Amino acid sequence: MPRTSHFRTTLSSKVAVALSGLGLAGFVVFHMLGNLQVLEGPGAYNGYAAFLREMPMVLWTARFGLLTVAVVHIALAIQLALRNRRARPVAYAVRDYRVASVASRTMALTGSLLLLFIVFHLLHLSAGLVDSSFHDHMDERGRADVFGKVIHAFHNPLYVLLYCAGQLVLGMHLSHAVSGSLQTLGFEHAALNRVFKAAGPAVALFVVLGNLVIILAVFLGLVRT
């Protein structure tokens, strides 16, 4: 492949990874905001879940779109990592980590762990295959008792530990992914570089703290049925 064509292919892949990554980051933010309604009690949270289920076409279109974006993001990220490794088959004798952060150096690791956590999360709270105790339970209004499922899950110290660990991995991945994606897309300006660089850690902290509030509030008994 000619060098120009190779460069264009790599550049387009990086742009696609950046755009899909920002899309997934946006979903994670809105997902957390929606789940914060668990703090308002079963009426609000089960109502929120029922509202989503009352629009099956929109819901399944969103799910399919999200899955497509995730597959594109993961596939292209792996492709770029393998391409970079082939371009540099001999490892550096000395690594200079003065500029690169821990989050940026561990993107492949945190991405892989995050994928495993997402699969577990879907099997656990969405499909009910890990714990089916509340999967078919209904609330007093005949709606799926998603609130009861969450309360039941986060009363278990093992699940609390797993979800807290998952949040740490998510935070590390987001902290570099958002800032790196903005840089890849050309969002650089002398007066705003600090803002763009801080965007990733800020989004990561916002999402992780929001999710941890839910988990720990339930575990500590601040939210109950």
Quote the crossing angle between the two packed helices 56-87 and 42-53, to the nearest 10°.
80
Examine residue 95 and state whether it is found in any structural domain, yes or no. no
CATH of the domain at 24: 1.20.1300.10
Examine residue 224 and state whether it is found in any structural domain, yes or no. no
Domain count within the chain: 1
Examine residue 39 and state whether it is found in any structural domain, yes or no. yes
Examine residue 225 and state whether it is found in any structural domain, yes or no. no
Domain interval for residue 70 = 3-90+100-219
Q: What is the pLDDT along the chain (225 residues), one digit of tens a residue?
A: 455 555 457 788 899 999 999 999 999 999 999 999 999 999 999 999 999 888 888 888 988 999 999 999 999 999 988 887 776 654 444 444 345 678 788 898 999 999 999 999 999 998 889 998 877 889 989 999 999 999 999 999 999 999 999 999 999 999 999 999 988 888 766 667 788 889 999 999 999 999 999 999 999 999 987
Examine residue 110 and state whether it is found in any structural domain, yes or no. yes
